[in-house]
Amino acid sequence: MTVLFDWREYYLYKDEILANKVKLSQNELRILISRFYYCAFNLSFIYLTQVLNIDFPESIPGSQARTNKHKWVPFELGKLDFQNQTRANKLNSLRIKRNEADYETNKLFNIGDYSFAEKCCKDFISAYEKDIFGNSISN
């Protein structure tokens, strides 16, 4: 399987930001939460479409409306085993955090928000990376 971009890079980027840091700024927290979501989301999409060979419908059947990938991925994960159903719920929660990080001007984030997003992302990496990349970066 060929994947042109390794979405795990978004997870590893935290190491660059965290280097020599005592406290993360709001900007850094927002960046990391957003990147953790996109890492988890894209690994899930690749897992569903390239590992499990589930076809992504470009449009909603019987409609000209485009399918929303961000809703389709957790919906499809939710059809799988219990672990993936749990991941579907995590992905939905992480998407809410990502939307807040990207769009909510008056929202302040803390280390708990970061920790939740980081743990979710690491779970998706651990679950799917060997099937997608054939190797592991997670510890």
Query: Residue 78 is part of a domain; what is its CATH number?
Result: 1.20.120
Residue 139 lies in a domain: no
Q: How far apart are CA 85 and CA 17, in angstroms?
A: 31
Residue 11 and residue 122 in contact, taking contact as beta carbons nearer than 8 Å: yes
∠ CA 9-14-16, nearest 5°, is 95
HSE of 32, CA atoms in CB hemisphere, 13 A:
27
Helices (H), 47-68: none
Domain that holds residue 125: 8-15+24-55+67-133
Q: What pLDDT was estimated at residue 45?
A: 96
Residue 80 lies in a domain: yes
Q: What pLDDT was estimated at residue 67?
A: 73
Q: What pLDDT was estimated at residue 137?
A: 75
Residue 117 lies in a domain: yes
Q: How many domains does the chain have?
A: 1
Q: Could you tell me the sign of the dihedral formed by the alpha carbons of 55, 119, 29, 94, in that order?
A: positive
Residue 2 lies in a domain: no
For the beta carbon of residue 77, count every other beta carbon within 10 angstroms.
24
Q: pLDDT by residue for the chain (139 residues), tens digit each?
A: 678 888 889 988 888 888 877 788 999 999 999 999 999 999 999 999 999 999 988 776 666 667 789 999 999 999 999 999 999 999 999 999 999 999 999 999 999 999 999 999 999 999 999 999 887 875 5
Q: What pLDDT was estimated at residue 93?
A: 97
Q: What pLDDT was estimated at residue 22?
A: 77
Residue 62 lies in a domain: no
Residue 47 DSSP symbol: I
Global confidence as pTM: 0.89
